Structure 1
Amino acid sequence: MSAVELQGLRISIDGRQVVDDVSFTAEPGECLAIVGESGAGKSLTARALLGLLPAGAVSRVERLSIAGTDAAQLSTAGWRRLRGRGIALVSQDALAALDPLRRIGREVAEPMEIHGLHPSDRRGRVLDLLSAASMPDPERRARSHPHELSGGLQQRALIASALAADPAVLVADEATTALDATVQARILTLLRGIADSGRAVVFISHDFAAVRRVADRVLVMRAGVVVEQGTVDEMMRAPRTEYAKQLVAASTPAPRASSPGPGATLLRAFSVSKAFDRPAVVEATFTLGAGRTLGIVGESGSGKTTLARMIVGVQRPDSGALEWASPQRVQFVHQNPLGAFDPRWSIGRSLREALLAAGVRRGERAARVAELLTEVGLDPALASRRPRELSGGQRQRAAIARALAADPQVLVLDEPVSALDPTVRQHVLDLLVRLQDERALTMVFVSHDLGVIASVCDDVLVMQHGIIVEQGLTTDVFTDPRHPFTRELLAAGA
């Protein structure tokens, strides 16, 4: 018997069909991946399996069986009984999913309490679940609050909670998207082990690089429709549709061919250090070549963003020095453009404010706004929209346009594509390479994604615990890594 059997799922929102005639099965011991870009309908499909569609969504289904239960006609109370025991969810944002006021052990125990399971030894069961989720020092972590854990540990706690009532089906919705390469690899290994233990895992993702590490079969969705399906090997070797080919190619970006010469030195860093409650950057020494792109790579907490902020001048080093060869106009592009823009202002107004700060005359600003939007591949008509009315890729392009308003010589970009779909990510990376050539820009590119670093960066710094453990030409570091941590990063991203 299939753990999941879905036939003829249709979902509409405000009269618009967003999922159309989706059907599939997932077997015990199998990981089924549903892949597609934002808006493909994959997360709505997953939510339909859990009876958790958003308000205003209307669904119809010919058949829905979850762990032997006919779920097509379940009442609200019936869904509550099924969730946790029959099917459970691991969501993308673990910090938002975990109760910030509740300790981790209590969070993991809740599904057992709801379903009346293990009343005599819930504490022992909680520790066993945390251990099974590869949580280090489970006794101590069970007493922690979510904010005291790293992103990877939060995700493991969420997985332990999802498994607490022993569900037959686990739905993982973009559960590894925002994680560092090494942490992502560990979570993917954990999910694969959960499938191998006999559960069905439905893995929602936009990234074939993650899918190939965990899944047995793949459904590719676009605009609410399944456009292709097959085994992982078939999809990676010979996808049939052009859309699937684009997704596979974008998940494995081609390395950039960079010139071996460093060029003129624009910036020298001498033993730069910065500490907050603990050391963030420790005696960082490096150079930045004019017209080149320097990648800074490392896990969360490695100090890469702090180092980037010191390059921009937002933060000052506690010791050491950053010496520019000559005065430079440096602009920063944030990781989250939605948070960086004023939500009350139109994109055009934000760009006009940037042009005002750059000294552009009032009468010239409207034309310059149109020119900047065109330069980053956006329709100038989008100037009238607010940030929330743009897609993620459009917002990131608008953020780059705002940075360009000051006519910078150096762009510092902090994880500018980490939240984007692979094809959108590739478009933004191609844009940055084009802008660098056209404007003779020097760039500093912060990322935890080794594929991104390889595709855009000439040189790279590898950071761990605030220390630069390896640096050099990107091609040299990636083909012949010397430090064990660099080798671990590359193995995790392979």
Structure 2
Amino acid sequence: MRAAIELQGLRIDFGAARVVDDVSLTVERGECVAIVGESGAGKTLTARALLGLTPEGARVHVDRLVVDGTDVARLSERGWRAVRGARIGLVSQDALVSLDPLQRVGSEIAEPLRIHRIATGRAALRERVGQLLQRVWMPEPERRARQYPHELSGGLRQRALIASALAADPAVLVADEPTTALDATVQARILRLLRDIVDAGTAVVFISHDFAAVRRVADRVLVMRDGVVLESGPVADVLDAPQHEYTRQLIAATVHEPRPAPTTSAPPLLLAAGLTRTFGDIDAVRTASFEVTEGRTLGIVGESGSGKTTLARMLIGIETPDAGTLSWAGERRVQFVHQNPLGAFDPRWTIGRSLREALAAGGVPRSRRAERVTELLAEVDLDPSLAARRPIALSGGQRQRAAIARALAAEPEVLVLDEPVSALDPSVRERVLRLLRRLQEQRRLTMVFVSHDLDVVGAVADDVLVMQDGVIVEQGSVSQVFADPRHPFTRELLEASRPVSP
């Protein structure tokens, strides 16, 4: 029985720079092979080469590339169009971007059926689309087929994208970071779905930087760095007994020890009572009551739509509660750190100009601003020369640290951080978390940390709120709530985020 994918000697160059060097892999039917590594490792370029989708300007050479028995190594773009979808499908990370915003979900899924002449006629197409949505466990498939992508949650959009990729029944599915931005419970469902697809006989190439996800879905794993495969083998062998030092570093960065419980008590800095915020007929937050203790970190966890970001926005005054009260102990300077620093910075300004603007707003004299920019960048472990760059010229980790530096410019006593590390690679994420812990100790900061990653919250937070459908269903110290969860939803979240034993 032939393999679904045979790749030998893949090399990709941009100008004089080789970004993928001599990568080879084989994927059997009914097998999932994961490719892991940090940003810039070459894993996505490798995956895209399997579909003939490398970027303009890339020079691609391959000794051998066979997809479902077809030699595709020398195919023209016209030849690739007949292969994509029919023999190999793609599931991207950002379903909202990948799905056509002007097409209903049903029409999007029907498109490859029409292109490859698998079903014709309105009735046949509708029936096949319904079957595909049922295959990916889409709730209310008939209603979802009539909706547009923006009307679906992140998890439902990802299911629709998987259904579209499976429409022509390809032998191979390439899943490029398909669960990175999803909540723990939604991620667990998508990973179960992918594993079901593998077990039904499809070959899956799974691109990820999440080792817990790799454990759940993959049979074998390749570890890449700087375009080279450093280590490969069965998942249990590589992740439980890594041979390469880089693999050991990546795995160590994903393991967080729970933060020890504070040994001293502190007064509450903020008291919230009965906070409610409604948008139309939707209660985003309902009767939320809690306190934030001075010098400690409060974690807020929950799925998308649970109300955690709305609650954080009320704490910083961006949203005004419809009911309830927020009482600070005296005047407090509160700053916000966004999830997406690339969108939060003015793309036309250098990092230095953005920092100077924040310092000006904080009342720092003009004569001191250049010096303070250098000091702030050093404080967040960035080279002062980066002040001359625009946000797009920085890596994700550098941008997030620059965003933290901008928040610190106003000398805040409270930092509210909304998913500040969710899009970062493991080792970069660990550096940012260490930075936040150091800054908290040095500046005696109080922090509110919004996240869907319970492992990260367990590492940085002292106390935690668990939110579901706008309601705080459980709260207390992290050690207490995580060790002995009382609410069924908290138990579900913890179970979904727990690594799977091989």
Match of 2:189, as an amino acid? Answer: R
Task: Work out which of the residue numbers 364, 367, 371 in structure 1 matches 2:371.
Answer: 367
Match of 1:488, as an amino acid? Answer: E
Distance 1:261 1:480, change over 3 A: farther
1:137, distance to aligned residue in structure 2 (A): 0.5
> Is residue 58 of structure 1 aligned with residue 62 of structure 2?
no
Mapped partners of 2:305, 2:18: distance in 1: 42
1:261, distance to aligned residue in structure 2 (A): 4.8
| 1:53-99: CA deviation from partner (whole Å, max 9, x where unpaired) | 11001100000000000010111111000101110000001011111
Task: Work out which of the residue numbers 146, 170, 179 in structure 2 matches 1:167.
Answer: 170
> Is residue 487 of structure 1 aligned with residue 491 of structure 2?
yes
Q: Which residue of 2 aligns with 1:230?
A: 233
> Is residue 123 of structure 1 aligned with residue 148 of structure 2?
no
Matches within 5 A, 1:275-294: 275-277=278-280, 278-294=282-298
Mapped partners of 1:149, 1:25: distance in 2: 35
Matches within 5 A, 1:120-159: 121-159=124-162
Matches within 5 A, 1:181-196: 181-196=184-199
Q: Which residue of 2 aligns with 1:88?
A: 89
Q: Which residue of 1 aligns with 2:257?
A: 254
Is contact 1:260–1:473 with CA below 8 Å preserved after alignment? no
Match of 2:220, as an amino acid? Answer: R
Matches within 5 A, 1:267-416: 267-277=270-280, 278-416=282-420
> Is residue 432 of structure 1 aligned with residue 433 of structure 2?
no
Q: Which residue of 2 aligns with 1:68?
A: 69
More moved, 252-261 vs 231-240: 252-261
Q: Which residue of 1 aligns with 2:110?
A: 109
Mapped partners of 1:253, 1:171: distance in 2: 30
Give TM-score scaled by structure 1 length: 0.99
State the number of aligned residues: 494
> Is residue 9 of structure 1 aligned with residue 13 of structure 2?
no
Mapped partners of 1:251, 1:80: distance in 2: 39
| 1:391-429: CA deviation from partner (whole Å, max 9, x where unpaired) | 000000000000000111000000001110111001000
Mapped partners of 2:466, 2:263: distance in 1: 18
1:475 is paired with a residue whose SS is helix
Mapped partners of 1:252, 1:488: distance in 2: 20
Mapped partners of 1:386, 1:90: distance in 2: 31
Q: Which residue of 1 aligns with 2:460?
A: 456
> Is residue 198 of structure 1 aligned with residue 171 of structure 2?
no
Is contact 1:209–1:252 with CA below 8 Å preserved after alignment? no
Q: Which runs of 5+ in 2 are unaligned?
A: none
Q: Which residue of 2 aligns with 1:35?
A: 36
2:440 is paired with a residue whose SS is helix
| 1:257-276: CA deviation from partner (whole Å, max 9, x where unpaired) | 13155411110001111111
Mapped partners of 1:134, 1:247: distance in 2: 33
Q: Which residue of 1 aligns with 2:219?
A: 216
| 1:423-462: CA deviation from partner (whole Å, max 9, x where unpaired) | 1001000000000000000000000110110010000000
Mapped partners of 2:486, 2:72: distance in 1: 54
1:123, distance to aligned residue in structure 2 (A): 1.2
Mapped partners of 1:253, 1:65: distance in 2: 41
Q: Which residue of 2 aligns with 1:46?
A: 47
Matches within 5 A, 1:471-486: 471-486=475-490
Distance 1:262 1:320, change over 3 A: farther
> Is residue 263 of structure 1 aligned with residue 248 of structure 2?
no
More moved, 114-123 vs 64-73: 114-123
Q: Please give the root-mean-square deviation of Cα atoms over the aligned residues, in Å.
A: 0.8
Mapped partners of 1:260, 1:164: distance in 2: 57
1:20 is paired with a residue whose SS is strand
1:14, distance to aligned residue in structure 2 (A): 2.4
Is contact 1:268–1:288 with CA below 8 Å preserved after alignment? yes
2:204 is paired with a residue whose SS is strand
Match of 1:279, as an amino acid? Answer: D
Mapped partners of 1:261, 1:454: distance in 2: 19
Percent pairwise identity: 68
Give TM-score scaled by structure 2 length: 0.97
Q: Which residue of 2 aligns with 1:26?
A: 27
2:387 is paired with a residue whose SS is helix
| 1:167-202: CA deviation from partner (whole Å, max 9, x where unpaired) | 000000001000000000000000001000001000
Match of 1:83, as an amino acid? Answer: R
Match of 1:234, as an amino acid? Answer: D
Is contact 1:40–1:222 with CA below 8 Å preserved after alignment? yes
| 1:451-490: CA deviation from partner (whole Å, max 9, x where unpaired) | 1100100000000000000000001101100000000000
Mapped partners of 1:380, 1:441: distance in 2: 24
Match of 1:230, as an amino acid? Answer: G
1:252, distance to aligned residue in structure 2 (A): 2.6
Q: Which residue of 2 aligns with 1:241?
A: 244
Mapped partners of 1:468, 1:250: distance in 2: 30
Match of 1:369, as an amino acid? Answer: V
2:272 is paired with a residue whose SS is strand
Is contact 1:207–1:247 with CA below 8 Å preserved after alignment? no
1:166, distance to aligned residue in structure 2 (A): 0.4
Match of 1:195, as an amino acid? Answer: V
Q: Which residue of 2 aligns with 1:417?
A: 421
| 1:288-319: CA deviation from partner (whole Å, max 9, x where unpaired) | 10000000000001100111011111111111
Mapped partners of 2:196, 2:257: distance in 1: 30
Match of 1:11, as an amino acid? Answer: I
Mapped partners of 2:312, 2:146: distance in 1: 34
